[in-house]
Amino acid sequence: MKKIFYLFFMIGLVSCCDKKVNETDPKKEDSVIVDSNNINVSILIDLSDRIDPDKNPNPAMPYFQRDMEYIKAIQKGFIDHLKSKKIITYDDQMQVFFNPEPSDPKINQFTKDLKVSFDKNTSKDYFASVEKKYAEIPSYIYQSAIKDKNYIGSDIWEFFKNKVKDYCIKNDRRNILFILTDGYMYHTDSKFEEKNDNSYKTSYLTGKLIKANNLTTSNFKTDIEKNGYGFVKANDHLNNLEVIVLGIHPEKGNPFEEAVIKEYWGNWFREMKIKNYQIKSADLPSNIEPIILKAISNKN
């Protein structure tokens, strides 16, 4: 009898110990969870002829200069975010992408220089070097593209299809992608259509396509829904990605062109499960900077 009692006592003791271990394990796991306040900021730049000051002049401020100021604001928001944190929590990064890459071999080095990361061992001097890089290098990139007039465009659809998950999304970060573009999407390497009785999807969007689809009246939303117009879905389950599109600039002649462009992009993002997105028109940097800073700080 005593042996049986002793046996049950030991089993109960072991069970109790196991329970205590199991109860404390979640706390241990919580202690190693990366701070969700760490951010991963990406910038995708459309180097099409939209930046050509001769083809697309703007007396207030050329579009390529607006881009450069937007990039400075993004860098400022990134640095402000870091300065709001304790050094020991630093685990943040920022980078710039082109798709496809420009032919200028210097661009590859510029891309490397603009890929910056901060951790708890980052020196204070590094802040100044990042600010300097983001103040100077974008100018070289835009001037190079404008000078040789060999505008490579931007294969945004292909970037979302094959690269966005690998390049712009980290599971332990807030992932924020800024896209600098006029809103039109076109590249010869990714130009195709998917048409059936209920929809007409394309991997591109041009002013010519908008006119061909008769999206030139106030009923454009109804027409888009009725005919299934839109972008071909490039990816799925991108719920861990926030996207801010900057620089929407419609062609003249259709008063609803800008709204159509935004509708295409918005529907595309929702279809790819991107819940947090903004699509902003080209505007002076002084008006866009607060939007950028607010998006990075994640403050309502």
Q: pLDDT tens across 23-36, in order?
A: 333 333 333 333 46
- Beta bridge mates, 277: 243
Summary mean pLDDT of the chain? 89
Model pLDDT for residues 77-104, shown as the tens digit of each residue: 999 999 999 999 999 999 999 999 877 7
pLDDT given at position 258: 98
Q: Please give the pLDDT value at position 104.
A: 79
Residue 8's pLDDT is: 41
Count of CB atoms situated within 10 Å of the CB of 1: 5
Helix axes 106-113, 125-148, angle to 10 degrees: 150
CA R_g for the chain: 25
The ranges assigned to domains in the chain are 1-33, 38-297
Which stretches of the chain drop beneath a pLDDT of 70?
A: 1-36, 300
pLDDT value of residue 161: 98
**What pLDDT score was predicted for residue 4?**
45
pLDDT of residue 73: 98
- Number of helices (H), then strands (E), belonging to the chain: the values are 10, 9
- For 38-297, CATH gives 3.40.50
181-218: per-residue pLDDT in tens? 999 999 999 999 999 989 999 999 999 999 999 999 99
* SS3 of residue 222 by DSSP: helix
pLDDT of residue 282: 97
Burial 190-202 (b: 16+ CB within 10 A, else e): beeeeeeeeebbb
